[in-house]
Amino acid sequence: MELWFTEDQTPEMRISCRVKEVLYRGKSTYQEILVLDTFQFGRMLVLDDIIQTTERDEFVYHEMIVHPALVAHPKPERVLVVGGGDGGTVREVLKHTSVQEVVLAEIDEKVVEVARRFLPTISSGLDDPRVKVDIGDGIKHVKGVRGAYDVIIVDSTDPIGPAVGLFSEDFYRSVREALRPEGLLVAQTESPFFNSTLVQQVQRTVAGLFPVTTLHLASVPTYPGGLWSFTIGSKVVDPRNPGQERLEMAAGLETRYYSPEVQHQAFVLPPFVAELVQGGDAG
C-alpha cells in the first residue's frame, strides 16, 4: 500500500508527496510535529500539516534568508534568529567567519529536539560553541534587548498561532530597537502569488521603520507556488549593492543556490511583484 502526505497549500490547491516512512509523530504545547521520509524530498519536517523544510530543497530557503542580509552588513558579529528551530538558518549564519555569536530564539523546544534527532544535516550547526539556544517567545526576546544585534532573521512559520505577532508593526519596531546602528532585519514573507496582501503589508510597515526596504525572491519547490519572498529592512546598507569587498567575501561562501551573482539577481523583481512592492494592486 502506498502512503502519501498531502498539504492543503490553499483551500483549492494541494501538494502530495509519497512517503517511505513516518519517522516521528508527536504533539508539543504549540503544534503537531511530523517527520517523514519521502521519496522526492528526503526527510521532511511538517508542523500542523504544513511543510517547513526538506532535506532536498532546504538549502535554497536557508541560504537565501541568510546570505543576502549578512553579505550586505559590513561585519556581522552578533546575529539573532527568531523561530528557525530546525537549525538550517543557524548553519548558514555560521559560514560567516566574522560571526561571534548566534542566538536562536525558538518558542518550541520540541522542534529543536526533533531536528537534532532526525534532521542532522539541517541542525548540524546547533552544537557550535558560537550558538546559544534560547527557548521562548521570540517577540519577548526582541523586546528585552536594545542595540544588541547586527542582523535579526525572522525564520517563522506562517502567520498563524504564535507566529502572528512576528508579522506585526509593533514587532518590527522592537526589532529596529534591538539592532545596532548598521543593523538589518530579514524576514521570510511568504508567497507573492498566494499571500500578496501580506507581502504588501510587510513591505509598507518595514518601509515606515527602516530607511532601506527591499524584497528578494527564491525558488523553493515545496512552498506554495514555488516562488518565495524575503523582506529586508536596513538602517544604512543597501543589500542590492553590498560593495566589492563584501562580494569578494561572498564568493568564498560554500553555497548551492546563493552566489554573488544571485545577490544581484534575487532583487530583480518581475513586474507583478514590483507592483506589489510599490503599493499597487495586491490581486
Task: Report if residue 125 touches ligand SAM, rule: CB under 6 A.
Answer: no
The percent of the chain in helix, strand and coil, each rounded to the nearest 5, is 35, 30, 35
Q: Is the CB of 96 or the CB of 110 nearer to ligand SAM?
A: 110
Q: Which three cell numbers stand for residue 261?
A: 551573482
State which amino acid sits at residue 279: G
CA distances to 43, 48, 63, 94 from 231, rounded to whole Å, are 28, 24, 14, 21
Of the listed pieces 67-75, 92-100, 157-165, 274-282, which binds ligand SAM according to CB under 6 A?
157-165
Of the listed pieces 5-13, 35-43, 83-91, 198-206, which binds ligand SAM according to CB under 6 A?
83-91
- Integer Cα distance of 36 and 16 in angstroms: 12
Clarify whether 37 is annotated catalytic: no
CA distances to 204, 237, 262 from 267, rounded to whole Å, are 17, 14, 8
Please state whether 239 falls in left (phi above 0), alpha (psi between -120 and 50) or beta.
alpha
Task: Report if residue 156 touches ligand SAM, rule: CB under 6 A.
Answer: yes
Residue reference for cell 526533533? 114
Task: Report if residue 63 touches ligand SAM, rule: CB under 6 A.
Answer: no
**Residue among 108, 187, 246, 266 that touches ligand SAM (CB under 6 A):** 108
Of the listed pieces 8-16, 79-87, 210-218, 263-271, which binds ligand SAM according to CB under 6 A?
79-87
Residues with a known catalytic role: 155
State the residues that interact with ligand SAM by CB under 6 A. 30, 52-53, 61, 82-86, 105-108, 111, 137-139, 155-157, 162-163, 166, 188
